[in-house]
Structure 1
Amino acid sequence: MEKTLGLLLLENRPITHAGALCNPNTFSFATLQTAVPGATVRTIVDGDEDVLDAYIRCARQLENDGVCAITSNCGFTALFQSKLAAAVNVPVALSSLSLVPFAATTVPKGKRVGILTYDATRMGEIHFAAAGWSSAQIDVAVAGIEGSETWRQLAEPIPDLPPSAIVEDVLIATRSLLKREPEVAALVFECAAFPLAADAVRRETGLMIADYVSLAKMLLEVSPVRDQRGANHSP
Structure 2
Amino acid sequence: MAQKTLGILELENEAIKLPGFLAGPGTFHFPVKRITVPGATAKNVTEGDHSVSAAYVRCAKQLESEGVAAITTNCGFTSVFHAEVAAAVSIPIALSSLILVPQLARTLPAGRRIGIVTFNARNLTEHHFAGAGWSSKDIAVSAAGIEGSESWHEMLKPVPAPTVSAIVRDVMTATRSLLASNPDIAALVLECAGFPVAGEAVRCETGLPVADFVTLANTLIEMSPARKAQRSSQGLSATRSSFTPDA
Q: What is aligned with 1:69?
A: 70
Gaps of 5+ in 1: 231-235
Quick check: 21-30 or 111-120, which moved more?
21-30
Gaps of 5+ in 2: 232-247
Q: Secondary structure at 2:187's aligned position in 1?
A: strand
Q: What is aligned with 1:10?
A: 11
Q: Is the 8 A contact 2:121 2:144 kept in 1?
A: yes
Q: What is aligned with 1:168?
A: 169
Return the TM-score normalized by structure 1: 0.95
Whole-angstrom CA distance in 1 between matches of 2:114 and 2:108: 8
Whole-angstrom CA distance in 2 between matches of 1:32 and 1:120: 30
Q: What is aligned with 1:153?
A: 154
| Runs of 4+ in structure 1 over 6 Å off | none
Q: Secondary structure at 2:204's aligned position in 1?
A: helix
| Cα-to-partner distance string for 1:54-109 (whole Å, 9 max, x where unaligned) | 11111111011100100000000000000000001111110000000011012111
Whole-angstrom CA distance in 2 between matches of 1:164 and 1:227: 39
Whole-angstrom CA distance in 1 between matches of 2:99 and 2:152: 22
> What is the CA distance between 1:24 and its match in structure 2?
4.3
Whole-angstrom CA distance in 2 between matches of 1:50 and 1:133: 23
Q: Is the 8 A contact 2:16 2:23 kept in 1?
A: yes
Q: Is the 8 A contact 2:191 2:212 kept in 1?
A: yes
Whole-angstrom CA distance in 2 between matches of 1:113 and 1:182: 11
Q: What is aligned with 1:115?
A: 116
Q: Is the 8 A contact 1:111 1:184 kept in 2?
A: yes
**Correspondence list, 1:48-63, <5 A:** 48-63=49-64
Return the TM-score normalized by structure 2: 0.91
Whole-angstrom CA distance in 2 between matches of 1:2 and 1:218: 15
| Cα-to-partner distance string for 1:12-40 (whole Å, 9 max, x where unaligned) | 11222211122242111000001101000
Q: Secondary structure at 1:225's aligned position in 2?
A: coil
Q: Secondary structure at 2:142's aligned position in 1?
A: strand
**Correspondence list, 1:108-147, <5 A:** 108-147=109-148
| Cα-to-partner distance string for 1:204-224 (whole Å, 9 max, x where unaligned) | 010000000000000111111
Structure with the bigger RCO (C-alpha within 8 Å, sep 6+) is 2
- State the AA in 1 paired with 2:110: K
> What is the CA distance between 1:229 and its match in structure 2?
3.4
Whole-angstrom CA distance in 1 between matches of 2:221 and 2:46: 26
1:81 aligns with 2:87: no
Q: Is the 8 A contact 2:16 2:161 kept in 1?
A: no
Q: What is aligned with 2:35?
A: 34
**Correspondence list, 1:185-200, <5 A:** 185-200=186-201
Q: What is aligned with 2:94?
A: 93
> What is the CA distance between 1:227 and its match in structure 2?
2.4
Identity %: 54
Q: Secondary structure at 1:127's aligned position in 2?
A: helix
For these two proteins, the number of residue pairs brought into alignment is 230
- State the AA in 1 paired with 2:210: I
Q: Is the 8 A contact 2:64 2:229 kept in 1?
A: no
- State the AA in 1 paired with 2:163: P
Are residues 98 and 211 of structure 1, via their aligned partners in 2, closer, same or farther at CA, if it must alter by over 3 Å? same
- State the AA in 1 paired with 2:111: G
